[in-house]
Amino acid sequence: MSATGVWIVGVVPDERIADLLLTAARSAPSTATAAGPAPSPPTRVDMATELNWWRSKPTESLFHPSAAAPGSWRADDDAYRLSAFLDNCRDGSDPVEALRDAVMDEFPPTTGEDLFAAVARKASPFSALAYALGPDATLQLPGWFGDFLLDADEVRTHLPAATEALTLTGATRQRAVERIHAWMTGLGDDPDHDAEELLDGPLRVLRHAARTGRGAAAQVRWY
């Protein structure tokens, strides 16, 4: 059985944000705030322990070269641990999934300046990005580990931190690209994944939302 991981970042009409959150709050008051659909960690995740562990390995590779497939990578046990941690941070409860579906209906119909979508077979694009960025930069991104719902004011508030986290150059950017490739081959089955776009696309959408006075949302999904 295979699975497809998806990460979507898109603009949302600012006037629709309050209605979306109100509808979600009526069905489950604790699941939605302006900061995003999952404001606190699911109880099954020991956040302090896992974040401290992740911070102890920010520069280490969690993969080793594959002997069977030159140019690809094999995941170490620590890669599986990080993947499980990031997956378990995702709130998959019915009310939150309903909010994701409602927000999805507000996204633009095609990718471009106002919509970014990354798809990977057997791997989560957001998790690959998180591995590339490291824990502290990942925590600078808005929302909760790849999920957020921001109105126009919040987009402008969060944009500087997101810009700092995602603007990589030189050797730092090359290392991030290599780490994305390792994730997509060691845990996933997507050797041709566009790592450059995974780094650039989300920030492009947030900047477009800020320029045009719109809200923005992101969703980690599995199909």
| Residue 1: per-residue pLDDT | 43
Q: What is the largest CA-CA distance in the chain?
A: 54
* pLDDT score recorded for residue 59: 79
In this predicted structure, the answer to whether residue 95 has a pLDDT above a threshold of 50 is: yes
Average pLDDT over residues 178-194: 95
Tens digits of per-residue pLDDT, 163-180?
999 999 999 999 999 999
- pLDDT for 2 equals 62
Segment 121-139, tens digit of pLDDT: 999 999 999 999 999 999 9
Give pLDDT tens digits for 199-223: 999 999 999 999 999 999 999 999 9
Residue 114 domain-assigned (yes or no): yes
Domain assignment present for residue 33? The answer is yes
- CA 158 to chain centroid: 15
Q: Is residue 68 part of a domain?
A: no
174 belongs to a structural domain: yes
Q: What is the mean pLDDT of residues 40-54?
A: 77
Helix H, strand E, coil C: the string for the chain is CCCEEEEEEEEECHHHHHHHHHHHHHHCCCCCECCECCCCCCCCCCHHHHHHHHHCCCCCCCEEECCCCCCCEEECHHHHHHHHHHHHCCCCCHHHHHHHHHHHCCCCCCCECCEEEEEEECCCHHHHHHHHHCHHHHHHCCCECCEEEECHHHHHHHHHHHHHHHCCCHHHHHHHHHHHHHHHHHCCCCCCCCHHHHHHHHHHHHHHHHHHCCEEEEEEEEC
Question: What is the number of structural domains in the chain?
Answer: 1
Tell me, what's the pLDDT at 83? 97
pLDDT at residue 44, as a whole number: 63
Domain assignment of residue 133, yes or no: yes
| Segments forming the whole domain that contains residue 141 | 4-56+73-222
Q: Is residue 20 part of a domain?
A: yes
More confident residue, 31 or 196: 196
Q: From its phi and psi, is residue 134 left (phi > 0), alpha (psi between -120 and 50) or beta? A: left
pLDDT tier at 20 (50, 70, 90 boundaries)? very high
- At residue 168, the pLDDT reads 97
Mean pLDDT of the 29-51 span? 60
Confidence at residue 223, expressed as pLDDT on a 0 to 100 scale: 93
* Whole-number percent of the chain with pLDDT over 70: 91
Mean pLDDT, residues 39-56 taken together: 77
Examine the pLDDT at 32 and tell me if it is beyond 60.
Answer: no
66 domain residue, yes or no: no
11 CB-near residues (< 8 Å, 6+ apart):
107, 108, 114, 115, 205, 208, 209, 212, 214, 215, 216
**34 pLDDT above the threshold of 70:** no
- Is residue 38 predicted with pLDDT exceeding 70? no
Q: What is the mean pLDDT of the chain?
A: 91
Residue 64 falls inside a structural domain: no
Q: Provide, rounded to the nearest whole percent, the portion of the chain with pLDDT above 90.
A: 81
